[in-house]
Amino acid sequence: MDAEPVSDVIAEIHRWREKLSDLPPARTEHEAIDRITALEELVSVSAAAQARETLTFDMHRRNREAEEGVPSRKQGRGLGAEIGLARKVSRARGSKLLGFSRSLLMDLPKTYASLKSGNISEEKARVVAKETDWLPRDKRHQVDERMSDRLSEVGVGRLGNEVRALAQQLDQKAAVEHLDRCMEERAVSVRPAPGNMAYLTALLPLSQAVAAYTNLAKSAQSIVGIGQAEGRSQSQIMADLLVERTTGQDNAEAIPIEVHVVMNENSLFSPGDTPAWFPGFGPIPAKTARDFIADNEAATFIRRLYTRPSDGQLVRMDSKRREFSGLLRRMVVIRDDVCRSPWCDAKIKHADHAQSYAAGGGTDWDNASGLCAACNFLKEVPGWRHEATAEELVVRTPTGHRYRIGTRPIGKPDANSRERPRSKLADEQAPDPVSEPNLFSVRIPPLRKVKAPRLVEPFESLNVDVWEHYEEPPSTVEVCLGRQVADYASTA
């Protein structure tokens, strides 16, 4: 964030933050419990203050835009993203926090008062807001009033059930319409889990979800009953049946897949330790990746990605097209992994220009960003600006705040490499080896596919794409690698 004058209130908050961070441990059990209680109440009060400031920010922005003549339907665009950046969370999370703040202060005054006094947690306040968000405002006030005495007495789960029951009792017609809308939101999603696992989640109508689970459970019980479990538990059998029935495979492990293996040859074909990386999911140990590739019964393809030795960044690719497509788009998606905006972990939907094509931005490696659809559209809103290189992205918001995120190296840096990290290589002029003897440019030669060599155990059954160099006249901005290396060696 750019440096700005700090108000007395913010300075005081910073002093309290520093005081709490340097607080010595409690001397007795009793004092420790008292501190935990007091700190929990402070967390609740802070949440209430954040909700109030969020709504205040919303009102200030809308009032300013109304004075500037912005149509009401366009006022407040990007507010959720700015709140997300300020709270170091994703854009989607920031939008939910904005909606929660509006509900809490405008529709649930009793709940807000309990949160502000430290009597309830932010989680309880969210439950009340979520279970009543479909009610008209007057009915939300009634629920808030009638539940005010129960907020601090019951747990989160029971509170949610009681609020939901009261809300449905107050407006049955709206409750039925709400359930009908919820059915339209049915979906399937996947997200990473610890231990190289993932959660496959289906949001379904209750009757369908129960029917699907019951069917899997009965089938698994039958397999266990006839002695075909092969050492698997019922839960493991249910998971295997789910994969087999949704993919059509006879075996849950025979999954056709193209694997982007970001590994050096020592890790892929020898016992190296550089992890592999699954785009969108994260790293897996090198041995696990080798076993996955070697043991997979389905067709497996390996596509090697070349990284810069000095810092592990993917090498650049440029294009004269207006759109990012083909291998360039694929490389952008692999490099950024998830949405590149700070703290946004959404799946990449768009590979687009950081500086727009209309404003002169090139369709090249340095000007590329993998973004979710919402973040990509948001950067076109007045006041927002993205500034990017292959190594970092800087996001500027309408308030003048600046947020930076560095690009995660996709490979392991070579400690012995003398090549310096750099960006915008194609736009640079060839360096003078006399004035800059330690700087040289590397031209990535064109590649063409050739016949794959015969692989040794256990990889002989894999389909491997192999590429070799072929000659092409260098462009005016490219420098002969051999001459520069020779010049560098002679001056070293």
The answer to pTM > 0.75 is: no
The average pLDDT across 230-242 equals 90
- The pLDDT assigned to 364 comes to 79
d(CA 291, CA 276): 12
* Averaged pLDDT score across all residues of the chain: 77
Which of 303-307, 310-314, 331-335, 444-448 comes out lowest in average pLDDT? 444-448
Taken as a whole, the chain contains a residue count of: 492
d(CA 151, CA 171): 21
Q: Is the pLDDT of residue 231 over 80?
A: yes
Which of 11-20, 267-276, 278-287, 465-474 comes out lowest in average pLDDT? 465-474
Q: Is the pLDDT of residue 98 over 90?
A: yes
Share of the chain above pLDDT 90, in %: 30
Q: For residue 313, give the nearest of 297, 288, 293, 332 by alpha carbon.
A: 332
CA 68, 70, 76, 81: dihedral to nearest 10 degrees? Answer: -90
State the pLDDT confidence band at 294, using cuts at 50, 70 and 90. low
Dump pLDDT digits (tens) for 51-68: 999 999 999 999 999 999
DSSP 8-state assignment for residue 7: P
Exposure string of 1-23, with b = 16+ CB inside 10 Å and e = fewer, is: eeeeeeeeeeeeeeeeeeeeeee
d(CA 173, CA 235): 40
Are the beta carbons of 411 and 262 closer than 8 angstroms? Answer: yes
Q: Which residue has the higher pLDDT, 409 or 228?
A: 228
Dump pLDDT digits (tens) for 349-381: 888 888 887 777 777 778 888 888 888 888 888
Dump pLDDT digits (tens) for 1-46: 344 566 888 999 999 999 999 999 999 999 999 999 999 999 999 9
Q: Is the pLDDT of residue 282 over 90?
A: no
- The pLDDT assigned to 94 comes to 93
The average pLDDT across 125-136 equals 94
Query: What is the CB neighbour count within 10 angstroms for residue 348?
Result: 23
Q: What are phi and psi of 34, to 5 degrees?
A: -60, -40
- The pLDDT assigned to 2 comes to 44
Chain mean position to CA 181: 27
Q: Report CA torsion sign: 412, 418, 421, 425.
A: negative
d(CA 445, CA 472): 8
d(CA 128, CA 51): 15
H helices within 233-285, ranges in order?
234-247, 265-269
Q: Please tell me which of 165-179, 289-303, 424-438 the model is most confident about, judged by mean pLDDT.
A: 165-179
Are the beta carbons of 337 and 345 closer than 8 angstroms? Answer: no
d(CA 463, CA 46): 57
Share of the chain above pLDDT 70, in %: 66
- The pLDDT assigned to 255 comes to 53
